[in-house]
């Protein structure tokens, strides 16, 4: 079974991710590179860690309603990103792992604790996507990662503003 860019664009757009532009290409099971599977698996583990962290933060009951609403949206976006990665792995007939990246959440005593932790987590995830994009042999996976990176850096920017940190990337580049 093949997936064209137009199919992928519609699927990603429905997940509220940046659509893929360009000419048709194929995600074929016989073409998946082991390094691509490993990188997608690592990305999936990061998305699962973010989903869990936001769930823990929301369960701490220290957030004001507006902040809880934003973090609920962030969690929802990470769920959509997780599903997109699972879709890519499934389409390529690769095994979908169950790993969750190890994150050591602090004890959330205040809203500021949650926001600071979320900021650090999102920056770490953004840095991981920046470093993985160039490694993909299949450029469709690089495009998917770049699409996720855009959403993640938006999270970083919003959290930086909430924490009054100033520009999240003062150099204009996502620095690793």
Tens digits of pLDDT across the chain (176 residues): 333 333 333 333 333 333 333 222 334 444 678 899 999 999 999 999 999 999 999 999 999 999 999 999 999 999 999 999 999 999 888 888 887 766 666 678 999 999 999 999 999 999 999 999 999 999 999 999 999 999 999 999 999 999 999 888 888 888 76
How many domains does the chain divide into?
Answer: 1
Assigned domain for 171 exists: no
Q: Is residue 17 part of a domain?
A: yes
Residue 108 vs residues 60, 111, 161: alpha-carbon distances, Å = 6, 7, 20
Asked if 20 and 47 count as a contact pair (C-beta separation under 8 A), the reply is: no
In this prediction the pTM is 0.78
Domain range holding 78?
Answer: 5-162
Distance between CA atoms of 30 and 10, rounded to whole angstroms? 23
| DSSP structural state of residue 79 | H
Q: What is the largest CA-CA distance in the chain?
A: 50
CATH of the domain at 37: 1.20.1260.10
**Domain contains 175:** no
E strand or H helix that includes residue 69 = helix 65-91
Is 133 inside a domain boundary?
A: yes
Residue spans of beta strands (DSSP E) within the chain: none
The answer to whether position 86 is within a domain reads yes
Would residue 176 count as lying in a domain?
no
Q: Kindly state the tokens that stand for 45.
A: 């583990």
Q: What are the structure tokens assigned to 50, written together?
A: 């973010």
- Give the distance from CA 94 to its chain's centroid: 19
Distance of CA 127 to the CA centre of its chain: 11
Question: Is residue 103 in some structural domain?
Answer: yes
134 within some domain: yes
Q: Which CA distances in Å does 75 have to 37, 52, 175?
A: 24, 8, 24
């Amino acid at each position: 079974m093949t997936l064209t860019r137009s199919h992928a664009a519609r699927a990603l757009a429905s997940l509220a991710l940046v659509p893929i532009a360009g000419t048709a290409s194929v995600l074929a099971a016989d073409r998946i590179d082991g390094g691509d599977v490993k990188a997608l698996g690592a990305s999936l583990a990061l998305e699962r860690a973010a989903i869990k962290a936001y769930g823990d933060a929301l369960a701490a009951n220290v957030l004001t309603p507006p902040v809880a609403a934003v973090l609920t949206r962030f969690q929802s976006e990470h769920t959509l990103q997780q599903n997109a990665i699972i879709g890519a792995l499934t389409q390529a007939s690769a095994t979908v792992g169950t790993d969750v990246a190890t994150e050591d959440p602090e004890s959330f005593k205040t809203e500021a604790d949650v926001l600071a932790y979320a900021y650090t987590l999102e920056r770490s995830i953004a840095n991981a996507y920046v470093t993985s994009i160039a490694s993909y042999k299949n450029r469709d996976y690089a495009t998917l990662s770049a699409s996720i990176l855009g959403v993640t850096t938006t999270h970083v920017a919003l959290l930086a503003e909430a924490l009054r940190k100033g520009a999240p990337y003062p150099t204009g580049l996502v620095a690793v």
